[in-house]
Structure 1
């Protein structure tokens, strides 16, 4: 199991936005430079985060991105779902007359992992982080 690079950048971007804790929008260029990634690539990730309702975009000369939800409410799982979607990681492809026993084990494991990621808030990482954007 492996998350995409987009999820990696999304988690780091959200951490930067939460750490900035500003009511001023943060530009995509600033966020991209801080992570060493292309602004074009990061823009696609930011669009997904906007669609998920985690952040909002502000247009104009001083435009950029702001948190839309309270920072205390944003979990790792929220961010991962915004990028990866909510489809199950495992899908039993064999045809069975009864429920797939392997599927049951895999779904239970996935539910435990998702609960852990839901309990982990991005704001909890900010305590020792110093960010200048």
Structure 2
């Protein structure tokens, strides 16, 4: 299974917003520069995150994107669904319906993965990242 590059960008953008600017807007230009990605492509991902209600767009000279939901509520699955959608990654080609044992196993695996990804919060990753940076800083002194 593979998620698109768009999901990668969206997860990293959300992490940046949580870590660096939870309460203030960040321009797409600054975000693209920090991430080293195309501003045009990133803008498309941010639009999807806006439509999903995870962030919102602030217009004006000091505008940009900022978190809309409480950062402690935003899960990896929320971001993935915003970018990839919610369709199953597997569909039985033989129209066996719910009787297809192969589809039953795949669906159960997807459900387990979704439960795990929904339990993983972007804010918790930000906290772990901060701890890691602090340990590196202390080790360098």
For the aligned pair, the TM-score class normalised by the smaller chain equals over 0.9
Paired with 2:115 and 2:98, the residues of 1 have a C-alpha distance of 27
4+ residue runs of structure 1 moved beyond 6 angstroms? none
| More displaced 10-residue stretch of structure 1: 14-23 or 56-65 | 14-23
Bigger relative contact order, structure 1 or 2 (CA pairs below 8 A, ≥6 apart)? 1
Distance in 1, Cα, partners of 2:78 & 2:3: 14
For 2:98 and 2:88, the matched residues in 1 are separated by 19
Q: Distance in 1 between matches of 2:68 and 2:48?
A: 13
Give the secondary-structure state (helix, strand or coil) at the position aligned to 2:99.
Answer: coil
Q: RMSD of aligned C-alpha atoms?
A: 1.4
Q: Is 2:12 aligned against 1:23?
A: no
User: Matches of residues 42-57 of structure 1 in structure 2 within 5 Å?
Assistant: 42-57=42-57
Distance 1:9 1:98 in 2: 35
- The answer to which structure has the higher helix fraction is 2
Deviation, structure 1 residue 97: 7.6
Confirm or deny that 1:96 pairs with 2:96: yes
TM-score by length of 1: 0.93
The unaligned stretches of length 5 or more in structure 2 are: 134-141
Q: CA deviation at 1:98?
A: 6.6
- Structure 1 residue runs of 5 or longer lacking an equivalent are none
C-alpha contact (below 8 Å) 2:26/2:65 kept by paired residues: yes
Measured in 2, the distance between the counterparts of 1:7 and 1:22 equals 20
Distance 2:124 2:97 in 1: 46
**Number of residues paired by the alignment?**
130
